[in-house]
Amino acid sequence: MSFPRGKTAVVGAATFGIGAAPGYTAAELLAKASLAAIADAGLTPADIDGVFAMLPQDPFCALSVPEYLGIRPRVVESTRTGGSAFQIHAMWAAMALDAGLCDAVLIAYGSNQRSASGGLVSSGAAPFPYEQAYKPRNPPSSYALAAALHMHEYGTTREHLAEVAVAARKWAQLNPDAFVRDPLTIEDVLAARMVSDPLTVRDCCLVTDGAAAVVMTRADRARDLAQSPAYLLGAASATWFKNISEASDLTVTAASEAGARAYAQAGVKPADIDVAELYDAFTINTILFLEDLGFCPKGEGGRFVANGGIAPGGRFPVNTNGGGLSCVHPGMYGLFTMVEAVTQLRGNAGARQVQGAKLALAHGNGGTLSSQSVAIFGTEETL
């Protein structure tokens, strides 16, 4: 069975509570985004018969989310691969919709981690004494190890890393929903407090609240709904390890495998993509994923982002909402890349709109560069 290219589409998309949303539970945030996405599609909760949900602190979110929304789904799914889960949800949603297992899938995420705890919340991961004994400050230290090796092998510099943060901030300044929009310079990033060398606090994503949701249907139904469909042309994931000490090569991620499969499904190549939303939990991520997803050769990511390469007006638009670095990062960010890809394809991105965007790539990263997922969306004319 091949991937049902263009047979399904995102027909509703929304976010809620980006930034700080004090007083809400994670489930409430998820529900607010979900109801907005369902309404955006011109549907009601009663139309949803597939619920693919993620609440990080709730192992039973596949049950509690449908209960909260008053849905008795025919299909549920709650892949726990971290922030890459949502592109995987989209992959399974496309297969389930195309097979007729269900007719309308809600993919939803919510977290109140900023307001509830004042900081990062535990992932609930199993103990791993072979790393914990050494007290890496995770997740930053794991990504720092990858950054250090990339710098050593390819001549990537801290200024290159800072370029990623500055580009994200410049996009955020064009996005009224982005949480942090203050000016940021290369010098600011370099002078910021070091967290785990070579990453400063400005090389690290935000810690925010926030929720996101999308609704998917088959393409025939999508054409009759309220919004221009964002057709899912390809979706794939790859999982290579969990702990960073188990990575075989810190400078190559599973995005290289997931991306190749998603491109093949979609029948497109990296040069065809008009806008890329990459999971930028740390500045090194964007550089690694630009390489692994074929936007530049391996090792060239630092030079690709230099001189505003991925900032507004640069050579290639990346993370146009401001990314996890400047827009929103509520523990898991992967669904927000999909919402922004859809927003760009609809032409609804306002001052940050990539003119004429027809093909958008939304990427997810889970764990410590462990699980990688890619979804490629296109407008009607890409079918």
Partner 1 sequence: MHPEQEYLAFLAEGRFMLQRSKGSGTYVFHPRVAVPGTGEQDLEWVEASGRGVVYSTTVVRNKPPLENYNVALIDLAEGVRMMSRVVDMDPTQVWIGMKVIANVSEIEGIPAVVFTEERT
What does the binding site for partner 1 look like in residue numbers (CB under 8 A)?
128-131, 133-137, 141, 144-146, 148-149, 152, 193-198, 243-246, 250
Residue placing its CB nearer to partner 1 in the complex, 248 or 355: 248
Instruction: Determine the distance from the C-alpha atom of residue 133 to the mean position of all C-alpha atoms in its chain, rounded to a whole number.
Output: 31
In the complex, the smallest distance separating the C-beta of residue 120 from partner 1, rounded to whole angstroms, is 15
Residue placing its CB nearer to partner 1 in the complex, 247 or 345: 247
Residue placing its CB nearer to partner 1 in the complex, 117 or 132: 132
CA–CA distances in Å: residue 339 to residues 144, 169, 186, 319, 377: 28, 18, 28, 11, 11
In the complex, the smallest distance separating the C-beta of residue 147 from partner 1, rounded to whole angstroms, is 8
CA–CA distances in Å: residue 26 to residues 13, 48, 110, 181, 330: 18, 20, 5, 24, 10
In the complex, the smallest distance separating the C-beta of residue 361 from partner 1, rounded to whole angstroms, is 28
Q: How many CB atoms lie within 10 A of CB 190?
A: 17
End-to-end, the C-alpha distance of the chain in Å comes to 19
Residue placing its CB nearer to partner 1 in the complex, 86 or 282: 282
In the complex, the smallest distance separating the C-beta of residue 192 from partner 1, rounded to whole angstroms, is 11
Residue placing its CB nearer to partner 1 in the complex, 21 or 247: 247
Kindly provide the residue ranges of all beta strands, DSSP E only, lying in 20-103, ordered along the sequence.
50-54, 75-77
Residue 129 in contact with residue 40, Cβ under 8 Å? Answer: no
Residue placing its CB nearer to partner 1 in the complex, 47 or 131: 131
In the complex, the smallest distance separating the C-beta of residue 243 from partner 1, rounded to whole angstroms, is 8
In the complex, the smallest distance separating the C-beta of residue 353 from partner 1, rounded to whole angstroms, is 38
**Residues contacting residue 224 through CB under 8 Å, at least 6 positions apart:** none
Q: Supply 243's token pair.
A: 């702990």
